[in-house]
């Protein structure tokens, strides 16, 4: 009771200060991402909950993402200040002449991959020769081809079959042993596990060691909106870092911000765990641009028709935002997270 009283008083005091303090003028950043606010992109909802975007004078408006229009068009016409795009989308747009820049790697591990049942004797891609490989959708054919190519196999060495997107169907394909492996993505793995089937990933580095998503802006915005974009990246980086400081705080914020993803608490936690695995940068600097990897992933993309030709990274990679994105104190974030936990958990 004493603890509840203390926290209640703290909340009232905070509310009073907020109500009497002059409102800060915020500049809206229009962003388009594959999902609306979601634990899948927790740095946004965490950054908003802890006030990191507001500190930068930013209010984030997410444009509707259910659209057949390529995200790059929203950047080119100025409707979006920033877009989240995967490497194939970026390289296709650049090859078509779009004047855009990648300024931050959101996910440095690709969500696409190859899974087998946890109890399967198959340990790597080479063992799939002569086997049936399931595809969640036809789009996963390229993932399968690149993964097979990494171990010297081709599509002709396996029997690909589209299984479907439903979790129970995917899980049944493993249980009934109608497929030896499935090519899919992070949400598919969660759906399979939610249906009672444990899995293992045998994804080759050629598939997984590449950016999953990036932040893209127009070339003009790198100068015209530099300060705004630097603030956005800094707030995003701090929100990402919170997962390294205290994952339980991230979970609590997600439960409040997107309760629909936590109707099944176990699924909600698994969904967040996968998001943290994908979103936390593997580079020393948050969101750093891995020029060599961008070069390395293109030959296979050209080979299997994802892009028409390779593009030099200097054309579309702009690393000048990485320094500002990491210009903050880890110690301050740690203290802010501890204070938030004390007041809210």
Is the alpha carbon torsion for 89, 94, 98, 101 positive or negative?
A: positive
Question: What's the rounded Cα separation, in Å, for the pair 217 and 214?
Answer: 10
- Say what the pLDDT of residue 37 is: 95
Q: How far is CA 100 from the centre of its chain?
A: 20
For the segment 133-147, what is each residue's pLDDT rounded down to a tens digit? 999 999 899 999 999
115, 202 contact by CB (below 8 A)? yes
What are the structure tokens assigned to 294, written together? 């961008």
Predicted local distance difference test score (pLDDT) of residue 334: 98
C-alpha–C-alpha distance, residues 302 and 41, integer Å = 29
pLDDT in tens, 101-151: 999 999 998 889 999 999 999 999 999 999 999 999 998 999 999 999 999
Please determine, for residue 1, whether its predicted confidence score (pLDDT) is greater than 60. Answer: no
Question: All domains of the chain, ordered by start, with CATH?
Answer: 2-109+210-344 (3.40.190.10), 113-208 (3.40.190.10)
Is the pLDDT assigned to residue 9 strictly greater than 70?
no
Question: Which tokens sit at 288?
Answer: 């750093």
The whole-angstrom separation of Cα 2 and Cα 167 is: 46
- Output the pTM of the full model: 0.86
pLDDT at 36 over 80: yes
Cβ-contact 250, 272 below 8 angstroms: yes
* Backbone dihedral angles phi then psi of residue 200, each to the nearest 5 degrees: -130, 145
């Amino acid at each position: 009771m004493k603890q509840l009283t203390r926290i209640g008083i703290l909340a009232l005091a905070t509310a009073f200060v907020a109500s009497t303090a002059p409102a800060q003028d915020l500049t809206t950043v229009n962003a388009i991402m594959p999902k609306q606010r979601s634990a899948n992109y927790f740095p946004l909802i965490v950054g908003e909950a802890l006030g990191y975007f507001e500190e930068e004078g930013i209010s984030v408006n997410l444009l509707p993402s259910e659209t057949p229009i390529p995200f790059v068009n929203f950047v080119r016409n100025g409707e979006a200040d920033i877009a989240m795009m995967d490497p194939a989308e970026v390289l296709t747009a650049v090859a078509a002449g779009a004047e855009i820049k990648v300024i931050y790697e959101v996910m440095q591990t690709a969500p696409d991959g190859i899974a087998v049942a946890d109890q399967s004797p198959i340990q790597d891609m080479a063992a799939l020769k002569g086997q049936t490989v399931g595809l969640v959708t036809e789009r996963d054919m390229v993932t399968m081809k690149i993964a097979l190519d990494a171990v010297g196999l081709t599509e002709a060495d396996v029997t690909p079959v589209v299984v479907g997107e439903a979790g129970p169907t995917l899980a049944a394909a493993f249980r009934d042993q109608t497929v030896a492996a499935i090519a899919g993505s992070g949400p598919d793995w969660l759906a399979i596990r939610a249906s009672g089937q444990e899995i293992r990933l045998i994804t080759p580095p050629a598939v997984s060691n590449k950016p999953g998503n990036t932040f893209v802006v127009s070339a003009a915005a790198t100068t015209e909106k530099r300060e705004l974009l630097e603030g956005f990246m800094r707030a995003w980086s701090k929100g990402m870092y919170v997962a390294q400081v205290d994952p339980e705080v991230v979970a609590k914020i997600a439960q409040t911000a997107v309760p629909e993803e936590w109707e099944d608490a176990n699924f909600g936690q698994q969904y967040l765990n996968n998001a943290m695995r994908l979103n936390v940068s593997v580079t020393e600097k948050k969101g750093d641009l891995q020029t060599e990897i961008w070069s390395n992933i293109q030959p296979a993309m050209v080979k299997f028709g994802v892009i028409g030709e390779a593009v030099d990274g200097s054309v579309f990679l702009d690393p000048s935002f990485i320094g500002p994105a990491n210009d903050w104190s880890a110690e301050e974030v740690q203290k802010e997270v501890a204070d938030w936990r004390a007041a809210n958990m």
